Amino acid sequence: MITIQEAFSILKNNLPEPKLEMLSLAKAKKHTLAEDLIAPICMPPFRQSAMDGFALGVHEGLVYEIIGEIKAGDDHQVVLKAGQAVKIFTGAPVPDSATAVMQIEKVRVSGATLTLEEQPKFQMNIRPIGEQNLKGDLALKKGTLLNAACIGFLAGLGFTEVLVYQKSKIGILVTGNELILPGLPLKHGKIYESNSIMLDIALQESFYENTTVYYVNDDFENTKNKIADALVENDVILISGGISVGDYDFVEKALETLKVKRLFYKVKQKPGKPLFAGKLKDKMIFALPGNPAASLTCFYVYVLPTLQMISGYTIEYGQTVSKKLTHDFVVSNARNQFLKAHIIGDEVTVLTHQNSSMLNTFSTSNGLMYVEDGGYQLTKGDLVEVYVI
Ligand code: AMP
Ligand code: MG
């Protein structure tokens, strides 16, 4: 049995080579840029009016002759002599001959005569060409995680597609003779299958949307064949259940038969002791315990950071924040523990129902409090480490 830290470093040393792909901007959300992007245009690309008002051929007096108008989107050239003005709107191209735009609130208009309330300042209310960026400037750096602002910025520069780190295609393989799909009547001895939808949604919440679910009963041949199929069809597979030491747990033997290289099996932790990680060429395999809370804990602590690293995120395993415990808490365990917890501000409270089979308090949890093994007392106000989920 290895430690959590050892598991992290084994995973880090065995990450598959990232794959790259071109994606349309709309599809590229929450992907990481795989190359520096250079601005193909100046932004703004022309001198732009920042106000509704009048572009001026500035002269000494306050009275101007209005000779026309320029709306946003117009491209006709207006040549202003000193003392002439053209009505202009926000976003419209400012004539080369204009040296200021006076906002509409500071003028009076009578027919074709414009009177200013004050003298304009040189270049006022004109956005110069390239005020945001010049053509050839670095727009976004390789490694940038594309959020809404990034996508908007790139669209504004005319990009339609970008080279990004691919997000893995993920197979979720569910084992267990006792499992029945929600919606069907529950017979004695059966339980509803909940891990596949839970893991799938956890993936979707982190924008991993290319997933396939496979079901397999507790039978060696079946388990082996379904895992083989899932390995062909996906980059990463998550197996739920069947990885413990029971007579009907066939996942370990199936993986071994399929020549999956074992990275580790069993971690000194609670929940999630039977966690298995393996690799077959560039495919990653995680076998997660079937107990739902253990499965989800292992997902957040091991699987999600792995997927994110494969897709180019700047992230580490074991990223926690320090929070103040709101109550005394007795630690008494031979394994390090991840405890369902609730964070409010800089404080954390350990929740009830810590058993790995129970999801009821996981549902109200927004963090996993991490405590080292041993027998000791934590006191209200102590700083503890928490995984934010
Ligand atoms: P296993 O890891 O296969 O020994 O399963 C451990 C426990 O988790 C058992 O009580 C199973 O019934 C339960 N379990 C396994 N898979 C699922 C699942 N997909 N949904 C809900 N509970 C499960
Ligand atoms: Mg089972």
Per-residue pLDDT of the chain (389 residues; tens, 9 = 90+): 999 999 999 999 999 999 999 999 999 999 999 999 999 999 999 999 999 999 999 999 999 999 999 999 999 999 999 999 999 999 999 999 999 999 999 999 999 999 999 999 999 999 999 999 999 999 999 999 999 999 999 999 999 999 999 999 999 999 999 999 999 999 999 999 999 999 999 999 999 999 999 999 999 999 999 999 999 999 999 999 999 999 999 999 999 999 999 999 999 999 999 999 999 999 999 999 999 999 999 999 999 999 999 999 999 999 999 999 999 999 999 999 999 999 999 999 999 999 999 999 999 999 999 999 999 999 999 999 999 99
HEC per residue, 156-169: HCCCCEEEEECCCC
Return the pLDDT at 114.
Answer: 98
Q: Which fold has domain 4-19+167-310?
A: Molybdenum Cofactor Biosythetic Enzyme; Chain A (3.40.980)
Mean pLDDT across the chain: 98
Query: Is 111 buried (19+), middle (13-18) or exposed (0-12) by CB count in 10 A?
Result: exposed
For residue 213, the cross-strand partners are 172
d(C-alpha 132, C-alpha 285), whole Å:
46
Domain boundaries, the chain: 4-19+167-310, 20-38+140-165, 48-127, 321-384
pTM of the shown model:
0.94
Return the pLDDT at 329.
Answer: 98
Return the pLDDT at 42.
Answer: 98
Residue nearest to atom 3 of ligand 1 (CA): 241
pLDDT tens digits along 219-268:
999 999 999 999 999 999 999 999 999 999 999 999 999 999 999 999 99
Which CATH number among 3.90.105.10, 3.60.150.10, 2.60.120.680, 1.10.357.10 corresponds to the domain 20-38+140-165?
3.90.105.10
Question: How many Å lie between the centroid of ligand 1 and the Cα of residue 96?
Answer: 73
The answer to whether the CB of 312 is under 6 A from ligand 1 is no
The answer to whether the CB of 217 is under 6 A from ligand 1 is no
Question: How many Å lie between the centroid of ligand 1 and the Cα of residue 177?
Answer: 9
Question: How many Å lie between the centroid of ligand 2 and the Cα of residue 347?
Answer: 37
Task: Give the architecture (CATH level 2) of 48-127.
Answer: Beta Complex (2.170)
- How far lies 165's CA from each of 19, 21, 27, 209, 288, in Å? 6, 6, 12, 14, 26
The ligand placed nearest to the CA atom of residue 178 is 1
3 state SS of 271: coil
Return the pLDDT at 30.
Answer: 97
Return the pLDDT at 156.
Answer: 98
The answer to whether the CB of 304 is under 6 A from ligand 1 is no
The answer to whether the CB of 293 is under 6 A from ligand 1 is no
Residue nearest to atom 7 of ligand 1 (CA): 291
The answer to whether the CB of 271 is under 6 A from ligand 1 is no
pLDDT tens digits along 44-78:
999 999 999 999 999 999 999 999 999 999 999 99
Question: How many Å lie between the centroid of ligand 2 and the Cα of residue 254?
Answer: 14
Q: Which fold has domain 321-384?
A: Beta-clip (2.40.340)
Return the pLDDT at 166.
Answer: 98
Return the pLDDT at 218.
Answer: 97
Rounded to the nearest angstrom, the gap between the alpha carbon of residue 77 and the centroid of all alpha carbons in its chain is 46
The answer to whether the CB of 291 is under 6 A from ligand 1 is yes
Joined together, the tokens standing for residue 54 give 């009048």
Residue nearest to atom 17 of ligand 1 (CA): 290
The answer to whether the CB of 240 is under 6 A from ligand 1 is yes
